[in-house]
Amino acid sequence: MGMGKRMSMIPNTPRLGMLIVVSGPSGTGKTTLCRKVCDGSSSVFSVSCTTRPPRPGEVDGKDYFFLDEADFLARVDRGELFEYARVHNRWYGTLKSYVFDNLRRGVDVFMDIDVQGATQVRGCEDDLVRHCLTDIFVMPPSLNELRNRLSGRGTDSAEVVELRMVNAEAEMKHWRDYRYCLISDTRESDEAKFRTLIEAERLRSSLYLELA
């Protein structure tokens, strides 16, 4: 091999962003975890589109892009969504351009999505996604504790809490599909473990891929 073709010993390209897919039943604190570790410049939270109504205090464009069903489905038709799924009888989906633009710029993107969405992301054949992807399942410590957390939130009716419990059990069957599993304990220890994991994943050599 001539000198000119020698592989460089030290990566000389800036690294790509990581795509961190975080799933788990609602009430495990995964949204809070993602939000906490995102600084808004080197790492961002992927704000999803949804057709569910805003909860008190939620802000359009910050928590979600709240869309009506016709608008959501029109975006699906135009191919604007990276992944989308029906969860708790509502549509949820991630904007493609936001994810790809940030990964290319080296910005880490946190996606808080359900197991159906995660399956779609894992199945994505785009090279960029395949090199950047990491997935984590956040487990509640027990179903009882999950129910306490969901009712304690005080923002959802008893009926909605029940629906979420049924969905939680269905979601939890998929934890093995994820590379990492974080069993939720206290907020502090969850955050510490999550940060440690992210720090380590940032060192992955595949993030230094030189894209053609």
Residues found near ligand 5GP in the complex (CB under 6 A): 26, 48, 52, 83, 85, 87-88, 92-94, 112-114, 116-117
Cβ closest to ligand 5GP, residue 131 vs residue 164: 164
**Phi/psi of residue 28, nearest 5 degrees:** -85, -10
Q: 148-160: buried (b, 16+ CB within 10 Å) or exposed (e) per residue? A: ebbeeeeebeeee
Spatial strand order in the sheet of 64-66: 64-66, 48-50, 90-95, 81-87
Cβ closest to ligand 5GP, residue 96 vs residue 193: 96
- Find the shortest distance in angstroms from Cβ 36 to ligand 5GP: 16
DSSP 8-state code for residue 208: G
Residue with the shortest CB distance to ligand 5GP: 117
- Find the shortest distance in angstroms from Cβ 6 to ligand 5GP: 44
Rounded distance between C-alpha atoms, residue 39 and residue 4, angstroms: 40
Which H or E run contains 124? none
Cβ closest to ligand 5GP, residue 15 vs residue 96: 96
- Find the shortest distance in angstroms from Cβ 96 to ligand 5GP: 11
Cβ closest to ligand 5GP, residue 88 vs residue 202: 88
Q: Let me know: does 49 contact 67? Beta carbons within 8 Å.
A: yes
Cβ closest to ligand 5GP, residue 67 vs residue 113: 113
Q: Which two tokens stand for residue 17?
A: 């962003």
- Find the shortest distance in angstroms from Cβ 82 to ligand 5GP: 8
Q: Let me know: does 79 contact 96? Beta carbons within 8 Å.
A: yes
Cβ closest to ligand 5GP, residue 88 vs residue 204: 88
- Find the shortest distance in angstroms from Cβ 62 to ligand 5GP: 13
Rounded distance between C-alpha atoms, residue 37 and residue 52, angstroms: 25
Task: Residue count of the chain, please give it.
Answer: 212
- Find the shortest distance in angstroms from Cβ 3 to ligand 5GP: 48
Rounded distance between C-alpha atoms, residue 140 and residue 26, angstroms: 9
